[in-house]
Amino acid sequence: MYLMLAIACLFFGLFLLFPGYFVGWGLIVPAVCLVIIGIASLGARYYILRRYARRVEEFRKKAAIRVRCKYCGALNPDTAMRCDRCGATL
């Protein structure tokens, strides 16, 4: 959603800059505002995706050091001999 908003704002902002050059400040101010909103949206999208990628990576690391029980599907520590949920041997 942020990407679509950013592209739309950048497109219309840059599209209005050219006629705004000939017409005057009436079009330049909204065009610059749209460009700033587009750039801010791209920055917000980048920040959100980076934060999400870090969380996914942390989750993958936690899941990698766990063993799934073949009977109940529970995740158990790598050093466990028996399942925490059902008590079956791992």
pLDDT at 50: 93
> What six digits make up the tokens of 34?
């749209």
pLDDT at 48: 92
**More confidently predicted of 64 and 72:** 72
Write down the domain spans for the chain: 2-64
pLDDT digits (tens, 9 = 90+) for 36-46: 999 999 999 99
pLDDT at residue 62 tops 80: no
Q: How far is CA 75 from CA 12, 26, 59, 61, 88, in A?
A: 50, 62, 13, 13, 12
C-alpha 59/C-alpha 62 separation (Å) is: 5
pTM over 0.85, yes/no: no
C-alpha 90/C-alpha 77 separation (Å) is: 10
pLDDT at 56: 92
C-alpha 78/C-alpha 63 separation (Å) is: 10
